[in-house]
Structure 1
């Protein structure tokens, strides 16, 4: 039987309903609600294990009223769960005659068998309660599972339907869940006549096939939705004029409720907003500022700061590759390297600290790399500095600093934010690079935006190095070479105001997703769990 699975977020919720539908079909099946009963079928089979005396004190009565010709009994009256035999992984192969079963399916093959009939395999340890089917005349069931050969009068395919509805996985106990077979033996069941068992299996397979088709259609719908989102956002990014952008945005805004219904789609929308902001397409360009005069003013201010020993001297940088040089700039914008805008740049200190955060503003802490998110500074992501160590106050983070992650997994390197405000006594770690910019001409927030997306982000991605994708880094010198396109300060501030406005709208969209998903899950649960079967015809 196929279980529901799907992509994260909204797609999971779409398929969650299918999972509940499959569960409902199986529950209806083992209660006799999917097929017609016939007197000619006779009665259900007789139990074969009535001599089994050991019972769990938590015996539960049958949870439904079974048809009159079904046999009511305990699971252990019909079925025996036999322990599997140990078979080390090195003894298994991929070319043996017999399948080898672990706690949740086939884990290899072997040249001999320990079970010599078709059987149901039930997970004992690990995937406790998982149900699998072996139709071969022999198999090897390892010691983390049980085997069950159905008695005469019980169809093995019906066993799969029945076992799947008993909640065996919920009987597993311990840190590494283990299923005690005596707990399973105490479960109450009802078994129909063999001919009805076969009709039930046929009906379940028919309905599960329809579920499979519905799942395929759902997956196709999810893919089509993703394509639609990507196409609409691409139209925004490729808008050639402000007028075209406004028109495309208006068209998109009218359909927010159907386009952005998953975490992934909102992530993509946020990314598009940042790209539009960093490339100068969110607000009108300045009519007054001359780009050459703007660039000369930045250089003049930077020279004065260098002479006053308040700014670092620029280094000779490698020439930019052609792919990192913008082909066209918005009116009034300039192209430069990050070091042209810098006053200071350093990295911090990473002493051995407890995992606990600094408890208050009077206690020093060291920022973790997770304190730096895309355009978001999280001061609470820190570790407390041990009492035995003295703080290095030169690394204390201040408002106006720009932070960028220097080392970590590839997807966490070169993440950038500005610090608009912070509590005192927090130091940067040596995995965080900090810099400041010439604030008379440059907004720290706009620089953080520029480094997170677009041309600068592509450059930084190409500059990452390391032995593995889980251990990457980027140097200060490579960071200094990042290409920046920059509008006048007034326009930078207007862009960030617009970005904030749009990201707030995205936050509201994102906040609505869990509520909608929870409601859909609740509806699915209610529809499948509160159906009264006792009065069904």
Structure 2
């Protein structure tokens, strides 16, 4: 029995399109669902399950015989080179069964593979000129050919005229990263006089097989995996050789069925595009709606207005909080309400923040008298224009420096010669604004520096330098007794806990009020953003009475725990949707 007969079924395989369409929307809504749908469409197409077979179609065996005759004629006329023989197809090679009248064939028997040209690096230009030809590179091969960023090289580097690309050529990346090697795009237009391809590309020029159908085959997960697995690997680059490309097995139906498959795939891919765009628009509109509602809540002028806004939004939480991004937005709104004094009620019996500031001023005078600090130049009071919003009764605006924080930049990563090993906290030890001791390092530090750079419970580490604007200036609370120091990527801030609780100060550091101010103070050098002690000291802080700080911290902790639970439920729902979508796709494939 021949390999092709053993590898096909005696009945038509078209079974999948009705259930596929029936569940299209449900699968698309799952995380990664549209990507799975695209892969499924291609898989069904090349397995003969996407469109019905027509028994009156010319069988693929006749088509392949015609291709062999055509290639033999072209070889005889000297228009193409004679190929090296490819091995016969063995039963065990075929990855899946084909419908009646389909055939398995090796890629090299139905296409000419034309390698790209090579040229010295100093011979390329960005501008066209007489005697130069456009040259496609791997960066030009995306989902379609990108013509905007061409190189131009002297036409003399082109060895053979067949290296000029033609409409309906398929261009393949032959040397690229492992994820991108084997990527293909079809030439639908040539917007310049003529063009060729560089040495890391090849052109696949089909013989009597629809290029659009061959594109479907080459973009299936089966083909992509086969090419990637067969590619040789250097340090960063995977390479596909002709010796691996030509023997690739491809399924071949009749030309008439190829045409029907191409039309159906185009139709279903357009539907995927629509669902994808609709999903994007829905996500943008959802974000805008949630943002507007949460902004209105965060910007409430009074506690009464905040309560009204909260009651207005709360009945719609099931719609608003159906994705993690809006849960994140809610959590930031909670922080905003917290630092504005709108999250918990005020207690008139609390000692006002003005009394705390009076104690701080007395302490400052004491330290000046004792020679511990120098008397600084008096600063003007905080003007109404500087205050971002009105504060509740009993609160005060204060520059952070006026609370007499102790700042200390961190230790050099080199450590001290002859010192004793001690754990040093690095940026890598900060996970989600928390200190992680799962993978710490040690450096040698002498006893004096170990004390200088040591950490106490309630200290706050501030990220001093990084390339990311989201990371620089972060407040990280040390909520434990640690036998560790910190590196010079941090500033340590130690505060009088009789004036402000470190947890409240840490919440303030996470709020948009603090983050937007810190980001406006960045110093940027060589791509690195930096904040210093003076920047942090200049932050305007809304200071509540000490007991209210504790009530705020407790309430934020409670609400954040609810947000974390909601995120986990959303993640569990997404995992379930993904498993259901995967099971459905697998059942059809």
Alpha-carbon deviations, 1:386-417, whole Å to 9, x = none?
A: 48998532211111222212222333221113
State which of 473, 477, 501 in structure 2 corresponds to 1:414.
473
Single out whichever of 164-173 and 369-378 deviates more from structure 2: 369-378
1:32-431 counterparts in 2 under 5 A? 32-44=48-60, 45-46=63-64, 48=68, 52-55=84-87, 60-87=92-119, 91-93=124-126, 95=128, 98=134, 100-102=136-138, 104-105=141-142, 106=146, 108-110=150-152, 112=155, 114-118=163-167, 119-126=169-176, 127-136=180-189, 139-151=195-207, 153-165=208-220, 166-168=222-224, 169-171=227-229, 172-174=231-233, 175-250=236-311, 252-288=313-349, 289-290=351-352, 292-304=354-366, 307=369, 316-317=378-379, 324-352=386-414, 363-371=421-429, 376-379=434-437, 382-386=440-444, 391-409=449-467, 410-424=469-483, 426-431=484-489
Alpha-carbon deviations, 1:39-88, whole Å to 9, x = none?
A: 44312211537974344999854344333322332333323433222246
Single out whichever of 244-253 and 475-484 deviates more from structure 2: 244-253
CA contact (8 A) 2:453 2:486 kept: yes
Q: What is the TM-score when the length of structure 1 is the normalising length? A: 0.84
Structure 1 residues 37, 429: CA separation in 2 closer, same or farther (over 3 Å shift)?
A: closer
State which of 493, 497, 500 in structure 1 corresponds to 2:557.
500
Q: Take 1:91 and 1:475, find their aligned partners in 2: how far apart are those partners?
A: 47
Alignment: residue pair count: 512
Structure 1 residues 268, 43: CA separation in 2 closer, same or farther (over 3 Å shift)?
A: same
Q: Take 2:98 and 2:244, find their aligned partners in 1: how far apart are those partners?
A: 22
Query: Which segments of 5 or more consecutive residues in structure 2 lack a partner in the other structure?
Result: 1-27, 73-82
Single out whichever of 54-63 and 82-91 deviates more from structure 2: 54-63
Structure 1 residues 332, 342: CA separation in 2 closer, same or farther (over 3 Å shift)?
A: same
Structure 1 residues 366, 319: CA separation in 2 closer, same or farther (over 3 Å shift)?
A: farther
Query: Which segments of 5 or more consecutive residues in structure 1 lack a partner in the other structure?
Result: 1-11, 355-361, 533-537
Structure 1 residues 75, 276: CA separation in 2 closer, same or farther (over 3 Å shift)?
A: same
Q: Take 2:276 and 2:189, find their aligned partners in 1: how far apart are those partners?
A: 29
* Residue 482 (structure 1) shift: 1.9
Q: Take 2:41 and 2:401, find their aligned partners in 1: how far apart are those partners?
A: 65
* Residue 240 (structure 1) shift: 3.0
Query: Which secondary structure state, in structure 2, belongs to the residue aligned with residue 349 of structure 1?
Result: coil
Counterpart in the other structure of 1:16: 32
Single out whichever of 166-175 and 123-132 deviates more from structure 2: 166-175
CA contact (8 A) 1:368 1:381 kept: no
Alpha-carbon deviations, 1:414-436, whole Å to 9, x = none?
A: 11133221321x11223322222
Q: What is the TM-score when the length of structure 2 is the normalising length? A: 0.77
Structure 1 residues 236, 389: CA separation in 2 closer, same or farther (over 3 Å shift)?
A: same
Q: Take 2:561 and 2:385, find their aligned partners in 1: how far apart are those partners?
A: 33
Q: Take 1:263 and 1:530, find their aligned partners in 2: how far apart are those partners?
A: 30
2:495 corresponds to 1:453: no
Alpha-carbon deviations, 1:444-476, whole Å to 9, x = none?
A: 2212222332544443333221335x3122222
Q: Take 2:498 and 2:50, find their aligned partners in 1: how far apart are those partners?
A: 76
Structure 1 residues 200, 350: CA separation in 2 closer, same or farther (over 3 Å shift)?
A: same
CA contact (8 A) 1:15 1:215 kept: no
Query: Which secondary structure state, in structure 2, belongs to the residue aligned with residue 397 of structure 1?
Result: coil
Structure 1 residues 474, 313: CA separation in 2 closer, same or farther (over 3 Å shift)?
A: farther
* Residue 265 (structure 1) shift: 2.6
CA contact (8 A) 1:56 1:182 kept: no
State which of 522, 531, 534 in structure 1 corresponds to 2:588.
531
CA contact (8 A) 1:82 1:147 kept: yes
CA contact (8 A) 2:352 2:544 kept: no
CA contact (8 A) 1:350 1:366 kept: no
Q: Take 1:353 and 1:202, find their aligned partners in 2: how far apart are those partners?
A: 67
Q: Take 1:384 and 1:21, find their aligned partners in 2: how far apart are those partners?
A: 49
1:461-480 counterparts in 2 under 5 A? 461-468=519-526, 470-480=527-537
Structure 1 residues 448, 186: CA separation in 2 closer, same or farther (over 3 Å shift)?
A: same
CA contact (8 A) 1:279 1:454 kept: no
Single out whichever of 166-175 and 194-203 deviates more from structure 2: 166-175
Alpha-carbon deviations, 1:299-353, whole Å to 9, x = none?
A: 2344345556777765545876875324522110012211221252222211337
Counterpart in the other structure of 1:439: 497
Single out whichever of 297-306 and 49-58 deviates more from structure 2: 49-58
Q: Take 2:96 and 2:462, find their aligned partners in 1: how far apart are those partners?
A: 61
Q: Take 1:225 and 1:499, find their aligned partners in 2: how far apart are those partners?
A: 25
Structure 1 residues 481, 391: CA separation in 2 closer, same or farther (over 3 Å shift)?
A: closer
Single out whichever of 409-418 and 51-60 deviates more from structure 2: 51-60
Q: Take 1:146 and 1:445, find their aligned partners in 2: how far apart are those partners?
A: 61
